[in-house]
Amino acid sequence: MWAEGMTLPKFVEEALIAAHESPGAGVYIMTLMSPAIAAEALPGQFVDVSVPLGTSILRRPLGIAEVSRTEGWIRLIYRIVGQGTQALAAARPGARVSVLGPLGKGFRTQLRRPLLVGGGMGLSPLLFFAAESRGTASVLMGGRTKDELFWEHIYAPYVHEVFITTDDGSYGTKGFVTTLLPELLAKESYDGIAVCGPPVMMQRVAALAASYDVPCEVSLERHMACGLGACLSCAVDTKYGRRKVCKDGPVFSADEVYYDAS
């Protein structure tokens, strides 16, 4: 478990791409043989991955979705959003990429009954949390349509319950995750919430968690150039001053980043 002031080890590995496939919708699942990072990674942390074929100088920060400490692999789930990730998606099994990590501060996972709340690609880093929870966590996931919720079968082996919302009502409860969340908080005894997704969603989830007096952590996403806290490109304002998402986060207590500054 991460503690304030603790310096965690980082590694640079030339990782073999063991598997690389797409479940659809421009999303890719990449499995990398990276034993040193797999041994040390914590839920909520990320890695910086080099882009193959020299298409970009900067690495791409990707959340760690799953690990096998015994087999020495890490799994990354990402969506194509630009030239860098498009080039990464073209990499084939058997190729190698340089991986730096594990980076950042992860979730506090020592919870008795956590609720994970995610939307879109925010469900990727929460998957690691689910796997580490060994069946004690439940997940509330949201998407625009049923097609976006391929995540359900990925999460199913790891969680106690899966709750689903879709914007168009094509699957699960019609609406957003915040449509169903009050009902879950009213009838269940969760001792913590971990959330990752669009900023507006996270802020609304944080407000609902506070109204039910449930501790909440959020994983922020910002553009990162270095991933090590040197370039300041990912700095955000918090209750305690400016913080670097790549180093002080990406996981923060919700009341640290969503607060009344007046």
- Binding-site sequence positions for FAD: 77-79, 84-85
Listed in sequence order, the residues at least 6 apart from 79 whose beta carbon sits closer than 8 Å to its beta carbon are: 25, 26, 27, 28, 85, 121
SS3 letters across 113-176: CEEEEEEHHHHHHHHHHHHHHCCCCEEEEEECCHHHCCHHHHHCCCCCCEEEEECCCCCCEECC
- Residue 12 exposure: Cα atoms within 13 Å on the Cβ side: 5
Phi then psi dihedrals of residue 227, to 5 deg: 80, 5
Known binding-site residue numbers:
77-79, 84-85, 226, 231, 234, 246
H/E stretch holding 241: strand 241-244
Known binding-site residue numbers for [2Fe-2S] cluster:
226, 231, 234, 246
The three-class DSSP label of residue 84 is helix
Name the token pair of 150. Answer: 């391929």
